[in-house]
Amino acid sequence: MTQQQPNILFIMADQMAAPVLKMYGGKVAKTPHLDALAERGQVFDSAYCNSPLCAPSRFVLMSGQLPSKIGAYDNAANFPADIPTFAHYLRREGYKTALSGKMHFCGPDQLHGYEERLTTDIYPADYGWVVDWENFEERPSYYHNMSSVTQAGVAVRTNQLDFDDEVVFQAQRYLNDYVRGSDERPFCLTVSMTHPHDPYACLQEYWDRYSNDEIDMPSFEIDDDQQDPHSKRLLHVYQKDRSQIADQKIRDARHAYYGNCSYVDDQIGALLQTLKNTGLDKNTIVVFSGDHGDMLGERGLWYKMSYFEWSARVPMIIAAPEGLQGFDFGAGRIRQSISTMDLLPTFVEWATGHDDTDYAMPLDGRSLNPHLRGDNANAHDEVIGEYMGEGVTSPMFMIRRGDFKYVCCGDDPEQLFNLKDDPSEQHNLAELPECADRVAAFRAEAAERWDVEAITRDVIINQKRRRVVTAAHQQGKEVKWDHQPIFDASTMYMRNNIDLDDLERRARFPVVD
């Protein structure tokens, strides 16, 4: 090893749409800590999730593999225990790996390479949320509906506040314990908050940071009956009827969402302050990203589950300490299109110091280190997406390359957008004669890349298997896969198994002789 292995603090925010943030041109959200992190780090202008839904996006991010390769189909997909994640690879290279917060692992393995998990998850670990492509019209009760919008406003407490307050507290405790401990291994700590994910309810403190007048309405809407076929299916999924939603409720939903972005920002500020207080900021690379975005009423759509920019684009910042040998990436902006799937090989290169790791299975993700080091000759500019969750009855695919984004899904009309000329995706170019050659090339590439019939068959069989397992587990003694954090109380606070002076000396930081 020719360079020191850096600590990695990986912070995630759930459903944070990149376009709302100041670093991406947003005018409303107040996020000073993120703004400061962006000022000293590398900001990825065109970062995407590969599958715009919570669990699939996270499984892909953790494994560096596209959904169809690992069965990451929907929010109740089993994440196989034998799929290596970045936590496995880093742990093999000598890292302490810990997770505080949400990762939406489904199945009996709730660690997936993490040595420690500091909290339970906010979402269930079973297969209860399995999608049923063969009975699309039978809408399950667990699907999103529009209550998040119609009930938007101020709350004293919510499930999500309870969860994220604990997530950040446990992460700070982990950092404080690390600096007071004797374990010399570098750490990779993932801190994954569930905000600003709907429901759109926030504390009065954060609501009051914004006035009603400064909350922007969606830049444009499309009438429900004029939507493309996939978007119409999404309207069915979350039971949207625009005629039943007042403009003020849309403004309230966005108001609370912005408030929750500020809440997330304050939690990030607390984490970064803990790094500084402990001196860990000097050798810790901070990575911030999201799992997917939120349409927030843009185009008349809400939540995620599509490849439109507000749904599929995510914020991403990588900030390394100034002067950290081998990792002084500096500040700047990276224009090429990349994805969260690229984080695994990036992290592994940081841990190993080289780019020729023998991975257990070929990766779909590609390292971001050429981008960080200004090596444009080796920096990719491409994102591949696969979506098999709610709102489709056959696989949906996306290819983002250069200025263009191509989307296809079964018999739906193809979509082609020039994001340089049309960043809000108002003009589908797929049927224009002058774009026929480009569309044909993308269509041929998609046909070569994906066997639609085979993937569809695999998804439906997988859905049937999980429904059988779920029905069985609901009979008799119910199976519980949810992670149960265990704390050894015998080693916490004041105990008689250690001399009082020694205990106080070990627990205090900085150490006092």
Question: How far is 301 from 167, CA to CA, in rounded Å?
Answer: 30
pLDDT at 167 over 90: yes
Q: Are 186 and 94 in contact (CB under 8 A)?
A: yes
The catalytic residue among 54, 106, 261, 408 is: 54
Q: What is the DSSP letter of 4?
A: P
Which residue is associated with the tokens 């004029």? Answer: 226
Which residue from 73, 309, 275, 104 is spatially nearest to 193, judged by alpha carbons? 104
Q: Are 336 and 403 in contact (CB under 8 A)?
A: no
Instruction: Output the pLDDT for position 173.
Output: 97
Question: How far is 285 from 41, CA to CA, in rounded Å?
Answer: 10
The catalytic residue among 33, 88, 104, 112 is: 104
Q: Read off the pLDDT of each residue in 49-76 and give the average, rounded to a whole number.
A: 98
Active site residue 112: no
Q: Domain 7-383, what fold? A: Alkaline Phosphatase, subunit A (3.40.720)
Q: Give the DSSP H/E element, type plus range, for residue 23.
A: none
Q: What is the pLDDT of residues 176-224, one digit of tens each?
A: 999 999 999 999 999 999 999 999 999 999 999 999 999 999 999 999 9
Question: How far is 152 from 167, CA to CA, in rounded Å?
Answer: 24
Band (3; pLDDT cuts 50, 70, 90): low
Q: What is the DSSP letter of 391?
A: T
Full 3-state SS string of 393-442: CCCEEEEEECCEEEEEECCCCCEEEECCCCCCCCCCCCCCHHHHHHHHHH
Instruction: Output the pLDDT for position 472.
Output: 96
Q: Read off the pLDDT of each residue in 160-184 and give the average, rounded to a whole number.
A: 96
Which residue is associated with the tokens 């790996």? Answer: 97
Which residue from 267, 266, 284, 288 is spatially nearest to 275, judged by alpha carbons? 284
> Which residue has better confidence, 141 or 482?
482
Q: Read off the pLDDT of each residue in 442-466 and give the average, rounded to a whole number.
A: 98
Active site residue 54: yes
With a pLDDT cut of 90, the percent of the chain lying above it is 90
- Provide the token pair at 80: 């196989």
- Provide the token pair at 289: 């990203």
Asked whether the whole model's pTM tops 0.75, one would answer yes
* Cβ within 8 Å of residue 168, ≥6 positions away: 100, 191, 193, 267, 270, 271
- Provide the token pair at 177: 């314990």
Question: How far is 259 from 153, CA to CA, in rounded Å?
Answer: 10
Q: Where along the chain do its domains lie? A: 7-383
Using CB atoms within 10 Å of the CB of residue 22, give its burial: 0 to 12 exposed, 13 to 18 middle, 19+ buried: middle
At 287, is the secondary structure helix, strand, or coil?
strand
Instruction: Output the pLDDT for position 502.
Output: 81
Instruction: Output the pLDDT for position 347.
Output: 98
**From its phi and psi, is residue 299 left (phi > 0), alpha (psi between -120 and 50) or beta?**
left
Instruction: Output the pLDDT for position 2.
Output: 44
Q: Are 48 and 312 in contact (CB under 8 A)?
A: yes
Band (1; pLDDT cuts 50, 70, 90): very low
- Provide the token pair at 261: 């972005």
Q: What is the pLDDT of residues 396-432, one digit of tens each?
A: 999 999 999 999 999 999 999 999 999 999 999 999 9
Q: Read off the pLDDT of each residue in 295-312 and give the average, rounded to a whole number.
A: 97
On average, the pLDDT of the chain sits at: 95
With a pLDDT cut of 70, the percent of the chain lying above it is 99
> Which of 133-147, 166-180, 197-211, 370-384 shows the lowest mean pLDDT across its residues?
133-147
Q: What is the pLDDT of residues 242-262, one digit of tens each?
A: 989 999 999 999 999 999 999
Q: What is the pLDDT of residues 311-354, one digit of tens each?
A: 999 999 999 999 999 998 999 999 999 999 999 999 999 999 99
Question: How far is 172 from 190, CA to CA, in rounded Å?
Answer: 12
